[in-house]
Structure 1
Amino acid sequence: MSEYIKISPEIRALGREAEREIRPYFERLEEICDRNTEKVLAAFAKNRVSDNLFAGTTGYGYDDYGRDTLDKIYADIFGTEAALVRIGFVNGTHALSCAMFSAVKTGDTVLSVTGPAYDTLQNTITGDYCGSMKSYGIGYRQVDLKNGEPDLPAIKAAAADENIKLVFIQRSRGYGVRKTLSVEEIGEICKAVREVNTTAAIMVDNCYGEFTEEIEPTQVGADIIAGSLIKNPGGGLAPTGGYIAGRADLVENASYKLTAPGIGGECGCTMGQNRLLYQGLFMAPHVTMQAIKTAMFCAKVMEKLGYEVSPKAEEPRYDIIQTIAFGAPDPLRRFCEGIQAGAPVDSYVTPEPWAMPGYDDQVIMAAGAFVQGASIELSADAPMREPYVCYMQGGLTYESGKLGILLAADKITKAKAQ
């Protein structure tokens, strides 16, 4: 006889109630998915994708036609002059770091206009490490959000400084308790910057945001964007890597930071991984919507259990991240245990907080994924610090994502009852 996952009848009933309430909002998500899928297919057709592009190369990777064609496809999808899509990017932070260095040199200043950058990227900017921007004499300033919104007057005042050569926008919330920016809001920031500074490059950390809307930041004024392939654009199939897309000169400069000056994107073998990158990109609009549906379901279930969530289930989504404020360490740990128990890989493992590289606090992470650390797959993580906010993201399928959320809710309620 087939076995099923053990979840209490009460939590299953709660899940059915939550799903009934969020179902009306799925239609808009499916419209976005349709438009983005069409955009991807159009780029594939324009660039004459065939299976001979999937073979890959070894060694230096010279004349890797599949790799170079994928660059063109990303550029078409994001509406940019050029793109750099490489498995040589070890994570999103690596891609972002290369992109940031594309626009600045010693004596220049980086301006972050959405408050502090994501934890790991701060090491690139102000860290006391060999190779950081600080070590090269590159300055840093920031404009904090005002009541959770971009402070456009303050941004204009700061960006008017002629030493500002890179304006940095973080689209998603990272480990901050703030809302994610819409592409429209990013466009407003770009417009404000351009009113006072016509030379600085405008860069967007696009992690977690790809394909959540019908347009991307590079279509509203951003000069360069970067992200990870084990998030949205990899569609759950890319085994590693990252991308940069934007102005041709900036992408070329970033490629020199990835490899070496004068070599750039001409080298970099793909070792037979091209097919997964192509197929993952093809799947990306659909998988991204599966993750958003999972996040909406999570928001509704956890709200019904009495926890504060952001965004609310009914609110528009501009990334795949869902936050739950637990206010205490125990329910946070129970939630992560449930997410791990609902994973297809390592479901028997109990997540524990640990000193994760690049973070100041211990981090607990539930991530039973086919690709290690892939946050387009169902995962949850949180720094173990007040107010004990958990960041849940991913879900390759809505059906499996629901089960992970229900298991997490079940573990929390059972612990409370003890």
Structure 2
Amino acid sequence: MKEYKSLFKNLYNIDENVTYFVNICEKSLQDRFDELSDISQYNQVKILKAMQDEKLQATDFNWTTGYGYGDVGRDKVEAIYANIFKTEDALVRTNIVSGTHAISLALRSILRSGDHLLSITSTPYDTLQKVIGIRGNDPDSLINSGIEYSEIPLLADNSINIDEIKNNIRDNTKLAILQRSTGYSNRRAFTVSELAEAVSEIKKVKSDLLVFVDNCYGEFTEITEPTEYGVDIMAGSLIKNPGGGIAYTGGYVVGKKELVDRAASFLTAPGIGKECGLTFGMTRQILQGLFMAPKIVEDAIKGAMLFSKCFEKLGFRTIPATDDPRSDIVTAIELKKPEILEEFCKSIQFSSPVDSIFTPMPWDMPGYEDKVIMAAGDFIEGSSIELSADGPMREPYYVYFQGGLSFYHIKFALVNVLNNLNEKNLINI
């Protein structure tokens, strides 16, 4: 439409060649976009049926005070999560402060001194490295608590080394961990089928070995979830995909009842477990966000795919590539130069509905080894299902772009990024 092209030019001084370039790239993706719509529709009906199965009522949005005894809505949320993820039980709480906290909670509740933790998908995400103790020297890390740790490197093509699983499982291996999303790495997210193959091999070698999946950024990107293929316990964050950009905070742990109960006891106290814990009136937001999540995830992936397509056309490497399978909402772009990474993030910040007046700068972010630059103008602070971009200031200067509550907002941000880089002669359109 001529109207929005002129709007871009008049309000934001966008070069019409940039808008034209993005539109051409978008048209080439229509078949892939149709596939994403099918996945979104499937997950929408799945979530609707779970809410109906658990007889969700308007009165469930009421909440208690104090200890939180008898909070029917809280229990209903957890029953709905267990239904969706096809697990025996779920723990969905506002006092789980992040995805890292949810993962740490699951690991710590299972592992004891002398146990062995094996990472099947190479080195975990940066923040989890301090939890485990492979970086830093926190006295409360898993390693400093007497837990052994080892990992299996990925193959040269960044796939899971299935053949090496049997050679790395020990007599005392208690838990195998798999990370679905890319994290700050140079690989694409593992698909559910790839994770399922690894889980199958683990169970062949040692049937009682517990399997954990870090599901952050992966929810509702496919029609099934890892817990449908033998995963014993899984965790994620409510300010990523399943919160739909509405949940203020929180995280979830789903899986076998015994393991969820242990996580609950670790979160509160033995003997208390799931029976206590305030929702602070967030039951409505948590469930409304969950209900909206499939469409928002669809738009986030469409936007991420459009970013990949445009930057590939300009000669940059993207992970995943446009034609690769998608199993999370993150796109990594190898920018090679620190100034491109900084300008990219500045453009994302400028394109945000909140805090657009601020300029992101690299800083020493807790939990990370290198300085990190982060751009996010979110309604919910730190919500990475909303438009955001970040990256460590280290070679080859990957930017990790994710989120966006609507495709149109993501597309506008892309136009801004490309226009800014083009004006500064960092790219040529």
SS of equivalent residue, structure 2 residue 92: strand
User: What's the counterpart of residue 82 of structure 1?
Assistant: 89
- Aligned equivalents of 2:381 and 2:167: distance in 1? 42
Structure 2: how far apart are the matches of 1:29 and 1:293?
8
Q: Per-residue displacement from partner, 1:78-116 (whole Å, max 9, x unpaired)?
A: 000000000100100000001112321111010001111
**Contact 1:108/1:139 (<8 A) preserved:** yes
Corresponding residue for residue 180 of structure 1:
189
Distance 1:314 1:157 in 2: 33
Pair 1:158-2:165 in alignment: no
Q: Does residue 197 of the first structure (1) align with residue 209 of the second (2)?
A: no
For 1:14, give the aligned amino acid.
Answer: F
Q: What is the CA distance between 1:268 and its match in structure 2?
A: 0.9
Q: Give the SS at the match of 1:165.
A: strand
Report the TM-score when normalising by structure 2. Answer: 0.95
CA distance in 1, matches of 2:40, 2:59: 28
Deviations 1:194-228 (A, max 9, x none): 11111221000000000000000000111111000
Query: For residue 38 of structure 1, what is the amino acid of its counterpart?
Result: V
Shift of 1:52: 0.9
- 1:316 to 2:325 alignment: yes
**Partner of 2:30 in structure 1?**
23
1-side partners of 2:193 and 2:394: how far apart? 32
Cα-to-partner distance string for 1:324-359 (whole Å, 9 max, x where unaligned): 100010111111111111111111111100000000
Question: CA separation in 2, counterparts of 1:281 and 1:417?
Answer: 39
User: Structure 2 residue aligned with 1:276, among 285, 293, 312?
Assistant: 285
Please state how far the C-alpha of 1:374 moved relative to its aligned partner: 0.5
Counterpart AA for 1:89: I
Amino acid corresponding to residue 301 of structure 1 in structure 2? C
Alignment correspondent of 1:232: 241
Q: What 5-or-longer segments of structure 1 have no aligned partner? A: none
CA offsets per residue over residues 167-189 of structure 1, 9 Å max, x none?
Answer: 00000110011121000010100
Q: Secondary structure at the match of 1:17?
A: helix
Aligned residue for 2:12, secondary structure, equals coil
C-alpha separation in 2, matches of 1:130 and 1:233: 33
1: distance between equivalents of 2:13 and 2:298? 27
Q: 1:141 aligns with which of 127, 150, 162?
A: 150
Rounded Cα–Cα distance in structure 1 between residues aligned with 2:149 and 2:324? 34
Cα distance in structure 1, aligned partners of 2:63 and 2:315: 51
SS in 2 for 1:298: helix
Q: Secondary structure at the match of 2:333?
A: strand
Conserved? CA contact 2:187–2:320, under 8 Å: no
Give the whole-Å Cα distance in 2 for the aligned partners of 1:331 and 1:128: 34
Within 1, Cα distance between the matches of 2:90 and 2:180? 19
Q: Find the counterpart in structure 2 of residue 48 from structure 1.
A: 55
1:219 alignment partner, SS class:
helix
C-alpha spacing 1:260/1:130, structure 2 compared with 1 (3 Å)? farther
Q: Distance in 2 between matches of 1:337 and 1:135?
A: 39
The equivalent position to 2:72 in structure 1, one of 65, 80, 88, is 65
Following superposition, the deviation at residue 59 of structure 1 comes to 1.8
Contact 1:380 1:392 in 2 (8 A): yes
Q: Tell me the amino acid that sits aligned with residue 161 of structure 2.
A: D
Which letter maps to 2:145?
Y
> Offset at 1:130?
3.4
Q: Which of 308, 332, 336 is the matching residue for 1:299?
A: 308
Give the secondary structure class of the aligned counterpart of 2:222. coil
Q: Which residue of 2 aligns with 1:352?
A: 361
Give the TM-score normalised by the residue count of structure 1: 0.97
| Alpha-carbon RMSD | 1.4
Alpha-carbon distance in 2 for matches of 1:314, 1:21: 11
Which 4+ stretches in 1 moved above 6 angstroms? none
Task: Give the whole-Å Cα distance in 1 for the aligned partners of 2:66 and 2:147.
Answer: 35
C-alpha distance after superposition, 1:20-46 (max 9, x if no partner)? 111221111011001101110000000
C-alpha distance in structure 2 between counterparts of 1:272 and 1:231, whole Å: 20
SS in 2 for 1:175: coil
Q: How far off is 1:120 after superposition?
A: 0.5
* 1:315-334 equivalences in 2 (<5 Å): 315-334=324-343
Q: For residue 314 of structure 1, report the CA deviation from its aligned partner.
A: 2.8
1:251-290 alignment runs, 5 A limit: 251-290=260-299
Offset, 1:152: 0.8
State the match for 2:106 in structure 1: 99
Could you tell me how far apart the structure 1 residues matched to 2:323 and 2:14 are? 26
* Distance apart, 1:6 and its partner CA: 3.1
1:215 aligns with 224
Task: Report the Cα offset of residue 417 of structure 1.
Answer: 6.7
Distance in 2 of aligned mates of 1:399 and 1:56 = 36
CA distance in 2, matches of 1:396, 1:370: 10
Measured after TM superposition, the shift of residue 307 of structure 1 is: 1.3
| Residue in 2 that maps onto 1:120 | 127
Match of 1:402 among 397, 403, 411: 411
- Which deviates more, 100-109 or 351-360? 100-109
Runs of at least 5 residues in structure 2 that lack an aligned partner in the other structure: 1-5
Paired residues, number = 417
Aligned partner of residue 164 in structure 2, secondary structure: helix
